[in-house]
Structure 1
Amino acid sequence: MENNSLHIPRQDHAGVYVPPPMIYVVTFFLSIGLQRVAPLPSAWLGTGTAHAARWVIVAIGLLLLLSALWRFAISRNTLITVKPAKSLQTTGVYAFSRNPMYLALLIMFTAIAFFKGNSWTFLMIAPLMFVVQTYVIRKEEQYLQRAFGEEFSRYKGKVRRWL
């Protein structure tokens, strides 16, 4: 028996309900709270090398973030993780990293650690990467595999997740 009913495609998306930038912000404020509760020495952040490094890190992070946002803007793709992607980003900065926005946010997080002068912020980098990798990137990659199939498989085989 043939089914002649009209098939309406389900609106699939990554299922990441917490905006990823919020994960970075919450982690930062958690590091500030930890510094108040259990202070760690941060004198090394006041060195001349640290002051110079923070501006270089900010510039790299901003350049990477703006490049990634530009790719989304010109392709009219969405940044909202609970909406379906219109296209797979594979050119520009996406030819070097599958997740340049998250990498840029991590770089900016590191720069803020230099500006704030908080060792806890540096210690939170690894847990932050774990959460982003587990909660955000894994879900997004599963979605992109469903949505773009072999095209995403080829892309994933050529371009690394972070760098």
Structure 2
Amino acid sequence: MTNPFKDGPSAQDAGAHGHPWKISDVVLFPLLGLGLVLEWVWPTTLPLWRVPGGVLGAALFLFGFWLIHRAKTELDKADQPSLPGAATTRLVTTGPFAWSRNPNYLGAALAGIGGALALESWWLIATTLLACAILEVWMIRPEERYLAERFAGEYQDYRRRTRRWL
């Protein structure tokens, strides 16, 4: 058995990413934490009326986590991994994957923006958008290349009918 931190997975077990630590949490949590620290050190205020902004923010925050849960449930139903380091054996195009190719990342982005609105924080909006940009390059593009190689025409059809984010 190979050490996944040293050698990466074997070609047979390889997923979209070669290391188990290459997950969105490595991007999201530090950047959202940075946004909270920056907000604490240099407070900002969004030009929102507190109650509507808080309600909208809370709704987006909860919807984001619900979307992540729904995507994971759909992957579990199809007996597919939710972590990108494991091999995918079947393309999942149902549930939230029917209208977004990346509902997990979309859910995290919505939760981040919702938290920013609820806390009235420009810093959290900035760090959430930065996290999305990094995820696009570091996670999503390699995953799309992997799926295109693994599922060829089936993935191309899916790409044509389903948007990357929304």
Counterparts of 2:120 and 2:162 in 1: how far apart (Å)?
34
The gaps in structure 2 that reach 5 residues or longer are: 1-9
Which residue of the partner structure matches residue 70 of structure 2?
67
CA radius of gyration, larger in: 1
| Residue 11 (structure 1) aligned to one of 13, 16, 19 | 13
User: Aligned ranges for residues 92-131 of structure 1 at < 5 Å?
Assistant: 92-131=95-134
Counterparts of 1:56 and 1:108 in 2: how far apart (Å)?
9
- The answer on 1:143 being equivalent to 2:146 is yes
Q: Which has the higher contact order (CA 8 A, sep 6+)?
A: 1
Counterparts of 1:50 and 1:25 in 2: how far apart (Å)?
23
The gaps in structure 1 that reach 5 residues or longer are: 1-7
SS at match of 1:124: helix
Worse overlay, 119-128 or 100-109: 119-128
**TM-score (norm: length of structure 1):** 0.84
- Percent identity of equivalent pairs: 22
Report runs of 4+ in structure 1 exceeding 4 Å deviation: none
From the superposition, tell whether residues 10 and 120 of structure 1 become closer, same or farther in structure 2 (CA, over 3 Å).
Answer: same
**TM-score (norm: length of structure 2):** 0.83
Which residue of the partner structure matches residue 41 of structure 1?
44
Residue 114 of structure 2 aligns with an amino acid whose one-letter code is A
Residue 139 of structure 2 aligns with an amino acid whose one-letter code is V
